[in-house]
Structure 1
Amino acid sequence: MILSPMELKGKKVLVVGFANTGKAVTRFLLNQGAMVTVTDQRQPEESSEDITSLKKKGISFVFGDHPQEIFTGSDLIVLSPGVNPNLTSISQARKQGIPIISEIELASWFINTPIIGITGTNGKTTTTTLLSEILRASGFSVFTGGNIGNPMINFINDNVKADFLVIEVSSFQLEATEKFSPHIAILLNLTEDHLDRYPDFAAYCAAKYRIFRNQTQNDFAILNYDDKFCRAIIPSLSAQVLPFSRKAILTEGVFTDGKLLYFQKKEGLTHSYLLSKVKLFGPHNQENILAAVGAAELCGCIPERTQEVLENFLGLHHRIEFVQEINGISFYNDSKATNIDALFKSLHSFSGNIILIAGGREKGGDYSVLKEEIKKRVKLLIAIGETQEKFFNLFSRITPIVFAPDLEEAVKIAMQNGKKGDTVLLSPGCASFDMFKNYEDRGEKFIQAVRQLRPSHKNHKEHFSSLRRQNEPASH
């Protein structure tokens, strides 16, 4: 249902959270004539031009707390992605029947342009960016937004004209959707993540599945056929299903034989793409490419232009990003690997001789699934952050492990113990908030530490033995 501005005019709307998304939503609601209150548990910066300007326009602000009365006294509540929907104030408002929605839900009410929604545990940003570039290469105008950093509602705020919206969608954003319905919905994969927020993996999957909830037979669902949790939802879908697979030859869908990528429809339409010149590497990126090509084909992209983009796309910052080679040792920044599956796939992208820097704040999940990959590929694990003790208990019997107090020291240890042909890989498998502002901050500090290194001629074996004595816990 597309609302008219009159349906928000004069309504009491509460915006919960005043970061990037909350600010964009507030701007939108103000333009629609709503009576807006903003609440955020964090205190604002001492002199915020945004807040000063908005107060002059009639916006009310409540910082440092979420008073119950502003929730239950609202006609509509819009949650920012980082806000837990089960907070007491929100739960009470929900019991009273007050609509509680996310920013993408609100934006979708006012948008008629086709939406391509991309979700999954890992690969969302890469796939969103790659697909956007493919579409543009074929002459389409594209708005790229969502969880990638540009709120979807800015499509309206900035009066953007486009052929497609390509939107990265998180589980947090999908939780509070009711009518949101992408014309093309992509589910890349499902593995354990955010179990510090969800009661169990099934609840996390249920949030992701909401991307398909309102699709019809005129829409498309693109799913990873190799992932049993993605495959499980297929029988219940109303949309036309286009599976993609890295392992199976499909009668209809997108698949690969390792050399070529094929898009195939039942009616006989087949296009193929050469993979040998593609610069993205790793099995996870091959899945991202399959999904992006499937969506591009459905949108009518020109295969030759798609091939050009595939060959020139270098990947994204902080995602298995090559930083530098020193003394024949290659350094890679994969700070975006904030969960167990992302770390697993990162390890699987290299043949071995990995010096792994990992650790941080847990998000839930079973780290023991990494044992085989670590045993096979990791020659030294340098543990950082809050999970040091956990990593020692899990992995010290299968690979040497040392502790580093910070990332700079971890990089120095890696350099001192590396030799020609080794790969130093920052792939934490954890959130960053125990030591850093965010994963970007963690990645930038890693890059900075690497670039401060100087070629070394130390005997790595001798130094490693001393590190073991210095860094191992006294008793376990």
Structure 2
Amino acid sequence: MRKLNDFPYSHVLVLGLAKSGTAAAEVLMKDGKKVRINDKKATASDEEVIRLREMGAEIIVGSHPLSVLNDIDIIVKNPGISYENPIVAEAIKKEIPIITEIEIAAQLTDATIIGITGSNGKTTTTTMTAQMLTQSDQPVKIAGNIGIVATEVAQTIDNNENLVLELSSFQLMGIDKFKPRIAVLLNIFEAHLDYHKTLDNYKQAKFNIFKNQTEEDFLVYNANDRSLIDAVENSKAHKVPFSVKERLEDGAWMDETSIYFRDEKIMDRSNIALMGEHNYENILASIAAAKLSGATNHGIQTALSAFTGVKHRLQFVGKHLGRMFYNDSKATNILATQKALSAFEKPVILLAGGLDRGNEFSELIPYLEHVKAMVLFGETAEKLKAVGEHAGVPQIKLTDNVETAVQTAFDFSEEGDTILLSPACASWDQYATFEERGDMFIQAVHTIV
């Protein structure tokens, strides 16, 4: 059993179970820590609750009493729990440290960590980076916000391997000593303000990815994002920019025909399988991170010539009677849907809608020029309808959910059309996750195809 490298706390409150909380609690107990667990939604009869209690955890379920803070040295908080939660707010008043499971994961391993964050493109960039390293015979595992619990992976990864972590702002708010050997900062766009309250709070959470880095580390960042250029100025890490617009002496860049790292040509753009102009930033970021980790040009070429995307991110689902179906359920904000719409020139039927976070969606208007119809659902359906009407979209239909939207979209469609699910919203008004929403879309498409 691996021990935590630097964790001077003896009594830990794990707030919220789910996968990450369960994994963290197990590690802490095996390390000899006294663990108290509090989860409002869990019940005493849950299998995981019974098992963790048998391992020695003190467990309080069904409510969030402030008494769970008694004698606690530190809190390991589920990333989804708000800092306005009464227990969290009280802990802040008492100056009890609050971390997320990602900090525990980093304490378990000396493997090379590549941390990737940004408002959009995290999953694609994480997956591509890992594939470039794999094709270069560099051992690698992926984890984090991509759906794989980092603490579980960190317990088994060898020190000579690379650990590629997709990191959300929720996870990064709860770090203490965590620092990746290579940090990748893709972009910043207004998102998750229901959680962070202000854009500045959101940015500062993202910027935590490089706050503990030293001169021995690397910071890969988007040289075309002004807010990032200003933010990274005070970073101690060796800065490695990427740009789709200009040549860079110490970074990844492109011209009209080719992709480069520093002064070295990596490959022709024509050999890249992934579609969408917006993905070039993700590709450049992945190349920079992979090259810094020892990837070969051949490995990068092999990966990029075969990689067509990840599930729920502009995923090609199928073709039927000349209609192309794409699942972009991971587009949980406006910028992601803008980029998805920019990837297509053919007439598009857009399926969108979901949780209402207060956005008005006017930023979508310039991207709706080639949208021939919108099929809308969820809490934001009426808002998106108003935007579509303002943009002059010929046909707009409100429907119950993603499943009914697919049939409605097909009824509107003609040969040569693209039917695109790109919601511009989180899924939580109707679906537990964006993955569930995307799976429902895929299932509905398969009933037609």
Q: TM-score, normalised by structure 2?
A: 0.95
Preserved CA contact (<8 Å) 1:359 1:387: yes
Preserved CA contact (<8 Å) 1:16 1:22: yes
How far residue 357 of structure 1 moved from its aligned partner, in angstroms, is 0.4
Aligned residue number for residue 396 of structure 2: 401
Aligned residue number for residue 382 of structure 2: 389
The amino acid of 1:388's aligned partner reads: A
Preserved CA contact (<8 Å) 1:123 1:284: no
How far apart are the structure 2 equivalents of 1:83 and 1:237? 29
How far residue 422 of structure 1 moved from its aligned partner, in angstroms, is 0.7
Residues 301-380 of structure 1: pairs in structure 2 closer than 5 A: 301-374=295-368, 376-380=369-373
Q: Does 1:26 align with 2:29?
A: no
**Residue 159 to residue 118, structure 1, CA distance change in 2 (3 Å):** closer
CA offset digits 1:197-241 (Å, max 9, x no partner): 111111111110111101111111111112222222132221111
Give the match's secondary structure for 1:15: strand
How far residue 394 of structure 1 moved from its aligned partner, in angstroms, is 2.3
Aligned residue number for residue 213 of structure 2: 215
How far apart are the structure 1 equivalents of 2:114 and 2:7? 28
Residues 50-199 of structure 1: pairs in structure 2 closer than 5 A: 50-158=48-156, 160-199=158-197
* Percent of pairs with identical residues: 39
The amino acid of 2:376's aligned partner reads: A
Preserved CA contact (<8 Å) 2:109 2:155: no
Give the match's secondary structure for 2:253: strand
Preserved CA contact (<8 Å) 1:142 1:162: no
How far residue 42 of structure 1 moved from its aligned partner, in angstroms, is 0.9
How far apart are the structure 2 equivalents of 1:442 and 1:325? 20
Q: Which piece of structure 1 moves more, 67-76 or 183-192?
A: 67-76
The amino acid of 2:134's aligned partner reads: R
The amino acid of 1:451's aligned partner reads: H
Give the match's secondary structure for 2:42: coil
How far apart are the structure 2 equivalents of 1:4 and 1:188? 29
How far apart are the structure 2 equivalents of 1:159 and 1:223? 27
Preserved CA contact (<8 Å) 1:338 1:430: yes
Aligned residue number for residue 441 of structure 1: 436
Preserved CA contact (<8 Å) 1:5 1:32: no
Preserved CA contact (<8 Å) 1:218 1:240: yes
**Residue 3 to residue 328, structure 1, CA distance change in 2 (3 Å):** closer
How far residue 67 of structure 1 moved from its aligned partner, in angstroms, is 1.2
Residues 183-262 of structure 1: pairs in structure 2 closer than 5 A: 183-262=181-260
**Residue 6 to residue 92, structure 1, CA distance change in 2 (3 Å):** closer
Preserved CA contact (<8 Å) 2:111 2:158: no
Give the match's secondary structure for 2:193: coil
> Which consecutive unaligned segments of at least 5 residues does structure 2 have?
none
Preserved CA contact (<8 Å) 1:224 1:244: yes
How far apart are the structure 2 equivalents of 1:97 and 1:372? 47
The amino acid of 1:81's aligned partner reads: P
How far residue 183 of structure 1 moved from its aligned partner, in angstroms, is 1.0
How far residue 20 of structure 1 moved from its aligned partner, in angstroms, is 0.8
How far residue 259 of structure 1 moved from its aligned partner, in angstroms, is 2.0
How far apart are the structure 2 equivalents of 1:60 and 1:193? 36
Preserved CA contact (<8 Å) 1:339 1:363: no
Aligned residue number for residue 269 of structure 2: 275
Aligned residue number for residue 468 of structure 1: none
Preserved CA contact (<8 Å) 1:357 1:424: yes
Q: RMSD value over aligned CA atoms?
A: 1.8
The amino acid of 2:417's aligned partner reads: D
Q: TM-score, normalised by structure 1?
A: 0.90
Q: Which piece of structure 1 moves more, 132-141 or 184-193?
A: 132-141
